[in-house]
Amino acid sequence: MGLILLRYGELALKGRNRVAFLRQLRRNIRACLKENGLTGEVTSAGQRVYVETDRVEEALEPLSRVFGLASLSPVVEVERDIDAIVREAVRQAETAGVRPGVSFRVDARRADKTFPHISPEINRLAGGAIHEALHGDVDLSKAADVTIGVDVRAERAMIYRNVLRGPGGLPLGTEGRVVALISGGIDSPVAAWMMMKRGCAVIPLHFSQDEEDTAKALDNIEFLSHYSYGWRLRPTVLSHAEAVAPTLQRLYDLGEERWACIFCKRTLLQRAAALCEELGAHGIVMGDALGQVASQTLPNMEVISYGITKPILRPLIGMDKAEIVDLAQRIGTFETSTRSEHSCRFLPARPLTRGTVERMLEISRRLDEMEGQGT
């Protein structure tokens, strides 16, 4: 059986509720293994989580997508003895290709303060042995070609040479449920991913405008499912036209078509709030970035949000488009989001950019009167 060391980040800052967060993290790790056809034993001790499995290499990539994990490493466990640690460090360095012209460093962490050798001494002893055996170039900076890690804890000593980055954040499911509006575009799947990173279990809601747009949205939800260990993504798909067309038609009849985007967004948010009530969710996630399009100016977001009964979460609000694109590429949704262009058929020629709540309420009253008159 091989051993994988899993490190968590901000969970270490939690107080009395850390036990509950850690319990959920272990549960999600087990779900990750199961969903990828892997078996393994998941345990924790101190500020580390361990996975014992006979398929270490296959487990690394899916485990690197578990929210709450800062990083992970396949490790070799050795006796808590300095000679055993040094021998394995040399072996790991040789396997990593340390030789003349290849720089290396040793990064030791002595979490167990009863171990007789402090971290700098472990670095010196292991580094000296590696240099003597393999004649590699010592480089104490993080720019070294190879880093050999040593982690000495009360329960075990471990040597490793690879550190894989995890997504960080909080374990999925620790912060309740949210309804996420998912379109076929770039921004909304990234926004949903960011709220998943903060521990939210996402309920995807898509308003279908055409088959291609819906196909893109569902494909992106499938990508997000590769991060959603411990929570199954079950999308709700509704007709965009059925939701907004009656209101927007009356809006055009009033000669207020410039307000179309604002009333469209308000209608979608009202539907999302109703779904929150139905499914026990506590907020609504949108892919808005301040100033990106007409409906995302600050005055218009104030109008769009007015009277919505659930918190509206906009995790992309301070990001520019390049940052959003970079994150979409990293999580795997960018290619799907850009495989075809889509334009909303209700988009007016000159959408309003600076609406007011007072004017919106006046127009809403007139729309209600028209509906009451059957027009």
Domain boundary residue, one of 165, 196, 212: 165
* Mean pLDDT of the 136-145 span: 95
In a domain? residue 282: yes
| Same domain membership, residue 201 and residue 153 | no
Q: Report how many domains make up the chain.
A: 2
Task: Give me 328's structure tokens.
Answer: 């979409």
* Mean pLDDT of the 25-34 span: 98
Measured at the CA of 309, the angle between CA 209 and CA 225, to 5 degrees, comes to: 50
What is the total residue count of the chain? 375
- What's the whole-model pTM score? 0.93
Strand partners, 119: none
Residue 339 pLDDT > 80: yes
- Of 19, 20, 13, 58, give the one whose Cα is nearest residue 37: 58
Give residue 13's pLDDT: 80
In a domain? residue 172: no
Quick: pLDDT tens for 16-27.
889 999 999 999
Residue 28 pLDDT > 90: yes
| Same domain membership, residue 293 and residue 354 | yes
Identity of the residue numbered 14 = K
Give CA torsion, residues 63, 65, 68, 71, to 10 deg: 60
CATH code of the domain in which 361 resides: 3.40.50.620
| Same domain membership, residue 360 and residue 337 | yes
Give the model's confidence band at 374: pLDDT under 50 very low, under 70 low, under 90 confident, else very high. Answer: low
In a domain? residue 216: yes
Residue range(s) defining the domain that contains residue 264 = 177-372
CA distance 82 to 24: 35
Which uninterrupted H or E stretch holds 20? helix 18-35
DSSP type of residue 210: S
| Same domain membership, residue 125 and residue 42 | yes
Give residue 253's pLDDT: 92
What average pLDDT does the structure give for the chain?
A: 95
Give residue 375's pLDDT: 61
Give the three-class secondary structure for 36.
Answer: coil
Domain boundary residue, one of 116, 133, 165: 165
Look at 114 and 13; give whichever has higher pLDDT. 114
* Mean pLDDT of the 290-298 span: 93
CATH code of the domain in which 110 resides: 3.30.2130.30
Give residue 372's pLDDT: 77
CA distance 137 to 154: 32
Domain boundary residue, one of 110, 142, 165: 165
In a domain? residue 207: yes
Look at 294 and 53; give whichever has higher pLDDT. 53
- Of 225, 223, 221, 224, give the one whose Cα is nearest residue 235: 221
In a domain? residue 170: no
| Same domain membership, residue 206 and residue 160 | no
Residue % of the chain over a pLDDT of 90: 89
Give residue 15's pLDDT: 83
Residue 152 pLDDT > 80: yes
* Mean pLDDT of the 286-291 span: 96
Say if CB 54 and CB 204 are below 8 A apart: no
Identity of the residue numbered 95 = T
Residue % of the chain over a pLDDT of 70: 99
Say if CB 106 and CB 150 are below 8 A apart: yes
Quick: pLDDT tens for 51-62.
999 999 999 999
CA distance 99 to 231: 46
* Mean pLDDT of the 91-102 span: 97
Identity of the residue numbered 61 = E
Give residue 348's pLDDT: 86
Report CA 292 to chain centroid distance, whole Å.
22
| Same domain membership, residue 207 and residue 248 | yes
